Each structure stands twice: as C-alpha cells, then as structure tokens.
Chain A
C-alpha cells in the first residue's frame, strides 16, 4: 500500500474545502485536497453554460426516467435536465430517512459551490450570544469580534456585492457595489421603510456575484444562468476563486474520485495520522499521512467520517466522547411567505433589462431589540419583483391570435418573498450510521432523524403573516400568503452534528474548530455550527475555515500540533 505524506489533508472541495486548500497552501503548506466525485474544470466543463434553452429536448424539465433514478432529488427543483450532472446520484449514495429529510448533494470538485444560491450574510452577536441568553443548547465559543476580520478576509477574495445598512443584527462587510433593485422593488422598499420605521427593510441582496472585476474574473453579465457554471467566473465557486489561488502556490495536489472512508487515529499521540481513501472508480484503498486534517466534506459527511474513525477508542467514533456527535442537526425552514401584484402609476409603464442573479433581502427584525414574540429567534426574507411572464397564459382564459399576442407582452408586476427561519438546535435531531445498508462503495450509510419543533411552527405563523402585512402596508394589491410543505433538508443548509463549544463534555469542537479528542483534526463546514441563525450560512463556513487555517498554521509553527 502506497503512503504519501503531506503537511495537510483537506477532505472535500466545496465552499469550505476550497477555502481550506487556499489558505493552507498560501501559508506554505503542502496540501492534498481529496474530492469524492469527478473533476469539473473551470469554464471548460461548464458544458451547458452557453446552450440555448430550446436545445434541451424537454426544455430543461424532468422525465419519468429521471424521476425513477432520483427518488430524493425529484422532491424539489434540483431534478432538472440542465445541470443534473452536478447533483449526486440518490441511487449510488442512498441514506435512511427515519423521518423525511431531503438531502441534496453535490459530489464533484467544487461541490455545491457550483450550484449554490450565493446569498452571503454575516452572523452577528445576536446569533453568537443567542444560545447563552436563551439557555438553549450550549454557548458558541466565539463572538462576532472573533470572526469579523475573517469575514472581511473572505469577502475581499470571494467578492460579495451588497449594500451597507448599519443594522447591528445584519453586520456590514467588504462589499462591491450592490446589484440594483428594480423600480418596483424600490417603490415597495421606500414604502416599507416608512411604514415600519426602518425596522423592516427591503435591501439589495448580498450575494457572491461580483460587480467589479477580480483577477481572472469578470463582473456579472446578468445572464442569470449561474447554476450552469459561469463562463465569466462572476460568482464565487471553488473553481472561480479558491482553487486557482491554491493552484498558483504549486503546493496543492487535487485528487478527484477519492472517497475518504475514515481518519487513521493514533491513540498514543491522540491525533490523526492521516486518512484512508478508496478510489471511487477502481475501489482500491490508499492511505495518506499528514500533520493536520481539515474535514470539509459537508456537514453530514464530515460527521459520518468522524463516526467511522477511532472506533477502537470510542465505539461511536472520534468526537463522540461528548455524546453530541451526530446531534443537533439543523436546516433553515422556509417555503412560507406572501406575494401580490403591484399596480402603481409610478411603475406601470416601466420594465427592466438584463437578468439579475438575485433579488432583495429583508434582514431579521423579530426579537431583535427585545424578546417579544412567542418563539425564540427570527427569520429573514428573500424575494423579488418582476413582471409576469408567458407562463400566465396557462392560468388565464383564452386561445387564439389576440391571446397569443397579449401573452407575448410583459405582464403585470408581481412581488413576493419567502422567509428563511432559524431552527433551534435539538439533540433529538440527529444522524447515526445505519449499518444495515451500504452505498455503491459498500460503505454504511447515514440514517437521518430530524423534524422542526414547536418553536419553528410558532415562528412560521409570523413568517407568513408578516409578509402579507408588509406587502399590504406598502400598497401591494391582491396579496396572498402561502405556506407550503417544508421538510428538513430542503433549505440545503445542513448545519450542526459536530458543534463547537467551550466544554469537551458538551461539544465536539473547540473554538478553533479542532476536535477536542484529536486536536490536529479541524471541522470547518456546516457541521460545526452551534446554532443556525437565519442567515444563509456559507459565508460563515468560509470565515471559520480561514480562521481555523490561520490558527492551525500558527500552531504548527509553534510545534503545538
């Protein structure tokens, strides 16, 4: 068995892993970046990026054969004809749903950074202090001041566009000029600001779509085709941003098709000596050694790896001495909000040009200044206004030439938003290894047991009614609120299962994302989250990863690792 040795091994090449690779290589380490799936080369492999919409036989939709092949993915929008190659196969990688959990995965170089929603928001001390104040779960071991410089660090390189708002619960950052609101959104935003005293505020989305050039990357061309891969590199992905930086150091080795099956744990030294890997194609096993290991395999898979490691010492795996490994799984609950029609002389003869890759955002305003709702925490909204398109022809009565010509004209202005709510950590929401089932590579799969609780259900009442109230107050017509079925996982924001904390008895990771029981192992993806906030979490993973990488390299230099 061949054994190669590196300074650091990074498991997973998505948003977190790409950052780990960049930071560690730039700080002088020789890094092995392991990715379980195929390689995807920047631009060259974005095979559908320029494809015309009519070139897809089913115009982008889903066939019966696809639905059979993807029993999970078909539950929501990801099952489609356009970028199916970037969603993991449900058949190759099954899992057990003790309760329904929609797990939408991206198993390729770049992971879900190729297909993410790109909303990039900082957490604030409202979030970092929440658990301690509310007596929920355990306290975060860090505060906003600990992570703020790292948010700045990653924002500058990733390229985040957005507006400065001076709201303490929605901290400002290093932003490129925002992607504009359209005039209907401006109109509603102005009224909402007046009606709600500036507390409810429609702001430009903060997104990882650049509005100014960065090295090797052009600004957004307003194609709104991000999920096909951007030929301009205008949105942040591993491929557009972190991987080229890491490659430029000549200290990165990237190995696709490498499924890490466990960490090799040295119980005498109380550290990992490396990882065991099977080749996804040939199924041969290899071991790699390193001084430090960064687990960035996505929340559930990083925890799966810990659970499979050091079992001779801890039967439940590395990090399980706290009893918290696998517990406190979180997502953001959503699919609830309101929409309506804008009929106003100020915009009735107005339209727009170009296709934005984003809409607007409404930062959290509930339970901010004081706790005054019948639930803890809060939610933000994502939405947009646009003119109705041709799809309205289906619901309107009419056939014939006049009807056709009318439907070919831009329709009425519509506006709508859906809330993304915080989900409290609950130890009963957990993952375990299901030893009775295996995946394509004969590896045991995860069992997921997760549901939203009373706090989330109470919050959803506000999430729905508030949006209707907000739109009505702004003079929007025909407002209708909606609540659609939500199952955990649909937010594609899996968090928790290896939380950070201050005490090894109640947490898996310390304040530097080190596993308490193996301090040369760092977990910096969503698994580390102690609470979920209501903000889209990827920017926080980037910042925590960069912070942990800096700490790890300093500790290596001090010979503490």
Chain B
C-alpha cells in the first residue's frame, strides 16, 4: 500500500490543478500546498509574445465549445454548461493559460471532432441531435480515459468544462450550496437528498 508511485504522483499539471484538495481532504493549507505538484513548465514551452489581434478562437469555435460543454454537462432540472457561459470561458482559458503546444493539441482536437462527425453523420457537431452528440462525447470520453496520463484534447475539454461550470455564478446559485460567510462550523450533519454540495469562497485558486 505504500507505493511511492501511487496515483497522486501521476497527476498531470492540469489535473493537479483540478484535483487539488480532493484526495487530501478539503480546501485546507494542505490541499493548496500540494495541489500544483509538478507544475514546472519546460522552458521550451515558453510562449511567443502574443499579438492581441491574433485571436485563437472564432465565434464559430466558441459556439462549438458551448455545445461540446453542454453535451458534457447538459441542462437537466438544473442549468447546463452553455447557460453557465462555459464556451467563452474555455476559449479564454486556452488562450491565456495554455502553452502553445497545448493550444495546438486543443485546436487540432476541435477539428478532429468535426472531422469525425462528418465521417460518421455527414454533419458538423453543432448540427447533430443531442443523442448523436452524446454518442460522440461518450466515445471521446472513453478514449481520453483510456489514454491515462497521455495528453488528450478531450481531457482538456472536460477539465475546462468542469472547472468553468462548477465555478460559475450559475452553478454557485442554482446547484451548489454557496454561503459566503457560513458563520459556524458543524462537523456532522445529515446528508439528506436535498443537501447540496458545499461551494468554496476563497481557499486556493479554484475552490475545488
């Protein structure tokens, strides 16, 4: 059981950010201190100076991102990713925080999705029915899951969708239990079916 090479060591940088305190139990100092393990970048990845006019994503790209995000986390009896503004969020995050290499993988991935949709259905992703979209997303999710630690564009999409959705104003208001100032701590209450998941406020970068 005391395997030095156990799971936490295998986190990728982006996953480490998202997993944050999960395995270490909560958004404490500990979670923060460990969350960005191995986040050093390869100096070769240093970005070239960005021309602000050089937009990475077109409006059509952002619309596609919205639809993919909505497929991953759709509207149920609560709002889905599109209503939470996840498409534009993903575009911003890839533009501002990804390395040029990861940006390349991500953009190529978007093209791959439409290519596969064309091959299978003769249509682009946004033209598919909800069921068809879900089928594609399930297949790509399996692919990224089986890829393990290898970089996979659908993992990127899923990470940013999850992050963008669960830290959105929409999710905070309509899905999570967000109390800016709880005022008390109860270390033992019943977890009934109506109890929502607690949302963070300030601990660590992402309030995971």
Contact = CB atoms under 8 A, between A and B. Distances in A.
- Is A bound to B? yes
Interface of A: 48-50, 52-54, 57-65, 67-68, 74-77, 80-82, 117-119, 179-183, 185-186, 221-228, 334-335, 338-339, 349-359, 382-395, 397-401, 403-405, 407-411, 414-418, 464-465, 468-469, 472, 479-485, 490
Given A53-B207, A227-B202, A382 B34 contact: no
A339 B9 contact: no
A63 B158 contact: no
A46 to B, nearest CB: 10
B30 interface: yes
B181 interface: yes
Interface in B134-164: 134, 137-138, 141-142, 145, 155, 158-159, 162-164
Nearest to A359: B28
Interface string B84-122: 000001001100111100000000000000000000000
Interface string B1-26: 11110111100000101111111111
A385 B25 contact: yes
Nearest to B207: A53
Given A117-B29, A349-B190, A484-B34, A383 B3 contact: no
A224 B4 contact: no
B185 A464 contact: no
B15 A395 contact: yes
B92 A57 contact: yes
26 contacts: A54-B167, A57-B92, A58-B97, A64-B96, A64-B98, A68-B46, A77-B33, A183-B187, A221-B183, A225-B202, A349-B191, A355-B27, A355-B182, A383-B30, A389-B197, A390-B166, A391-B19, A397-B141, A397-B142, A397-B145, A399-B71, A400-B134, A408-B78, A469-B2, A481-B4, A485-B38
B92 A464 contact: no
Contact of A389 (B22, B93, B175): B22
A359 B180 CA distance: 20
B3 A183 contact: no
Contact of A359 (B26, B36, B40): B26
Contacts of A415: 25
B22 A352 contact: no
Looking at B167, B175, B196, the one whose CB has the most chain A CB atoms below 10 A away is B167
B47 to A, nearest CB: 5
Nearest to A61: B205
B36 A77 contact: yes
Across chains A and B, which 9 residue pairs bring their CB atoms closest together, nearest first? A225-B202, A386-B26, A60-B205, A182-B187, A480-B6, A183-B188, A354-B185, A354-B182, A416-B24
Contacts of A65: 96
Given A68-B46, A352-B185, A353-B185, A59 B25 contact: no
Contacts of B36: 76-77
A386 B207 CA distance: 13
A473 to B, nearest CB: 11
Given A182-B188, A394-B158, A410-B197, A49 B202 contact: yes
Contact of A383 (B24, B74, B167, B204): B24
A221 B25 CA distance: 20
A387 B187 CA distance: 12
A383 B25 CA distance: 7
Given A386-B26, A481-B4, 10 more contacts: A63-B96, A77-B205, A180-B185, A182-B187, A350-B190, A358-B29, A389-B208, A394-B162, A408-B175, A408-B197
A352 B188 contact: yes
B176 interface: yes
B166 A221 contact: no
B51 interface: no
Nearest to A346: B188
B23 A410 contact: no
B187 A352 contact: yes
B20, B39, B199 interface centre (most CB from chain A within 10 Å): B39
